[in-house]
Structure 1
Amino acid sequence: MSKISKLFKGVSGSSSSSKSKHRARGGPSPHEAIHKLRDTEDMLTKKQDYLEKRIEQEVAIAKKHGTRNKRAALQALKRKKRLEQQLTQIDGTLSTIEFQRESLENSHTNSEVVRNMGYASQAMKKVHESMDLNKIDDLMDDINEQKDVAREINDAISRPQGDDFDEDELLAELEELEQEQMDDSMKSMGGLPSVPSGRLPSASTSYRATTKRREDEDDMRMLASWAT
């Protein structure tokens, strides 16, 4: 048996063994599949680097022989073309694997999200089962009642004490203080003329006196005219 046959047989045997293990476990997990795809990407990337170096070598060989040794130069260019074809195939394979890995990662993420949401839903349902809406309403009533009590206590504490004064008396006292202030201001400015101590004549008394004086003056003028 050739080495190539042994290699394919080994690969086939390991693949069959891996498949049987996966079947026994119900198929590979998303994590395992993603890990395998990443390993494959690494392997193909390394092969890309190898092929690119081989292509550079074949180009150097073709340049070295040139037209002096056309046969060797052409052989080098043919090998370069085959290597470039392999490189193109690997690029396409990497794109496919990358798409498959990203899709699997997204699917795995969505599966985890949905599963965790299911756990949360079950936990929420369990919490709600232990709750009684009537008890919650009673609790809220108690809370509101305690808020009212606390508000009344605050009002009672903050209410001024011992300030029960007559407002009219306070206004009268304020007027006296203002009058004192005005008096002090007038004194500082030199004061007002002194007020007569006697009683001032009223308006009616002054009018009668003026009228009496005029009558007397008229009588005197009349007497003077008779005398002449």
Structure 2
Amino acid sequence: MWGWFGGGAAAQKKKDSAKNAILGLRAQLDMLQKREKHIMNQIEEQDQIARKNVNTNKTVAKAALRRKKTQEGTLDKTIAQIATLEAQINSIESANINRETLAVMEKSSEAIKAIHQGLTPEKVDEIMEKINEQNALSDEIVNVITQNPIGEQFDDGELEDELERMQQEHLDEQMLNTGQVPIADAVHKMPTPSNADPISSKKVAVEDDEEAELLKLQAEMAM
């Protein structure tokens, strides 16, 4: 994949170039740091010579001081060079990190683009609408299934009658087991009007005749 920093061999060449530059700078920096230590040792050595001969041989002491001053100037330049190299190394490393970071970000951008290929807000709305339609259809199917159960349907009234009959049979069975006569049987065993006392029947007939006679008299008096 080609990006902002090239691709393939070109990208690898740039990466190697930055790496080689850093390696070269670090090698030079290492050499300068060693030179710095050597110069500092030379300065210390000339200082000791000057101190040793300050009272006995001023010519030697002055020569040592001149060499010391020269080495101090060289040391200042070396320290400045070291600082410059360190700054360059930091700059190259930062630039290299930035390049690598941007390269990764570019690849991520391409990956997101590939994922979203052909996917638009309108397409998402269309898909969501289809999903909602299918969910609504599923709910309708469930409602139809639950409202129309499979199998023969029975009238609730018939079921209630059957239940009452079973309860009555159970009650009768309990009465037989306990020796008590059910209320319904007691009612059936009560004497019927045909078995009633003859005297009571005659009394009722007499009362009817008297009532009829009374009505007849009332009618005659009204004439």
Calculate the TM-score normalised by the size of structure 1.
Answer: 0.48
Which is bigger in relative contact order (C-alpha 8 A, separation at least 6)? 2
Calculate the TM-score normalised by the size of structure 2.
Answer: 0.49
